[in-house]
Amino acid sequence: MSPFDLRIPLLMLTLGLAACAAPRPPTPGLSPTAAPVSAAWLAPTLPHQGDTQALTDWWARWDDPTLVAWIARAQSLSPTLADARAQVAQARAQRLAQETLTGPQVFAVGNASRAIPAGAPAVTGPASTLSVGLQASWALDVWGDGRAAVSQATAQQAGAQAGWHAARVLVAAELAQSYFAWRTCHRWLQTAREDLASREATAQALAQGQRVGLVAPATAALAQASVAQGREALARQRQQCDTQTKALVAWTGLPEAEVRAAETAQTEARLPWPSVPAVPAAALRQRPDVWQAQFALAAAADGVGIAQAQLWPSLSLSTNWLRHDVRAGTDFSTWSIGPLAVSVPLVGRDALRARADAAQVGFEAAQTAYEATLRRAVGEVEQALVAQAALQERQSASALAADGLRQVLVATEQRFKAGLASLNELEDARRQWLGAQSALVGVRLEQLNTAVALYVALGGGFDPAQAQDVNRELPR
């Protein structure tokens, strides 16, 4: 049988093998709603349960323009976001490169030479040759590993995009929590100023009484000690607020004078609690980390197919067309199809098998990580719901306690002025009211932080249908 006749069954065998694909472990569909999670929340739910309104514009509903503007600045300056954006660009480049490699490769070639043929008379002079043409090659996707590589690169790009959204959410949440702590610190600072003013007024009145012999020196000294304690508490609170101001300057990149100018704005942030779907699986669609883990699992599954395909023969086809021009006036073309090359790995198969086994282990690890991400996502939402329900009860109780102790303090001050209460009673009433007032402000801060935690647990407005938004920010 001639060599040409041998090519025909080889080509038919190749075409038959082309229908095969690299084995790929089964993975869940690219939708976390099919995840094995609970069918209902096991925690107190929010009012209007089942309302699945988007959270994208949630920050604007706080009615605090400073907060919204500073979040935007923090995101634009965040190195974490910049790194996530670079990862998206790298993943996109990898996908485009992989798509190119799976198809035919065509190159324009050209060469020129000038030489004197051996044995030619010297009078003939050198001969010039110019060739231009095309060369093409194609690594046939016999086992489907090329398609698996494209699928893997696509999943990696989608995972990088979800990671970019997750970074945006975390940066916004961290800035918001720092901002709320800064606002709360200044409320505590104002309370400390009012407390010091009250202590100083009492000490001044007792000092006047001591001068006319109506107040014992020990009582006046106790009042001055109380003033000193108030000043120490005020200095400590001011230091804390200054530290948080410096942190916000670093977050936003604004001049410190501009940040301090915002201290005078007496804003009371609203609590736009995110709405929670009735079924946890539906809420998982708003979690970019869940989508990231999902696509990581899909990429790991494709990696198994790619590694196993390397154990099998590979097939490639090449062709070329060249146009030759010789100085002597000869002008002709050459073309060829082939060779049709088959390569079989014979040496190093143990390493290839070990690589395939490692890919399988990596897939199993990605599957475990995906399931753990699902459980963590549901747990974080439920924990935030439990905290929210408890804080609503604590806020009501703290408000009642602060109001009652304020009335006790007012009554004690009147009794003290009338000589019916001691300074110790007055200071005790003041300390109790100050503690209750500080506790009320602290509960408010916890409510704000819990709202942010619930926002993050629900994905921060991530919409898988709009996960390509980052591409608009990348250079073409």
CATH topology of domain 107-139+312-344: Outer membrane efflux proteins (OEP) (2.20.200)
pTM for the predicted model, two decimal places:
0.75
What is the maximal distance between C-alpha atoms in the chain?
137
* 19-102+141-310+350-473 and 107-139+312-344 in the same fold: no
- Classify domain 19-102+141-310+350-473 at the CATH class level: mainly alpha
Token readout for 242 is 């200054």
Q: Can you tell me the distance from the alpha carbon of 174 to that of 32, in angstroms, rounded to the nearest whole number?
A: 26
**pLDDT tens for residues 195-254?**
888 888 888 888 888 888 888 888 889 889 989 999 999 999 999 999 999 999 999 999
CB of 200 within 8 A of CB of 226? no
Of the pLDDT bands very low, low, confident and very high (cuts 50, 70, 90), residue 23 is low
Distance CA 345, CA 361 (A): 23
> Is the distance from CB of 331 to CB of 325 less than 8 angstroms?
yes
Cα 428 to Cα 198, 417, 435, distances in angstroms: 13, 16, 11
**Model confidence over 347-391: pLDDT tens digits?**
777 888 888 888 898 999 999 999 898 888 888 888 888 898 899
pLDDT of res. 469:
54
**Cα 290 to Cα 32: distance, rounded to the nearest angstrom:** 7
Contact assessment for residue 288 and residue 462, using Cβ atoms and an 8 Å cutoff: yes
The structural domains of the chain, with segments of one domain joined by +, span 19-102+141-310+350-473, 107-139+312-344
- Is residue 331 within 8 Å of residue 254, measured between CB atoms? no
Q: Report the C-alpha gap between 164 and 473 in whole angstroms.
A: 12
Helix (H) or strand (E) holding 333: strand 331-343
Amino acid at 370: Y
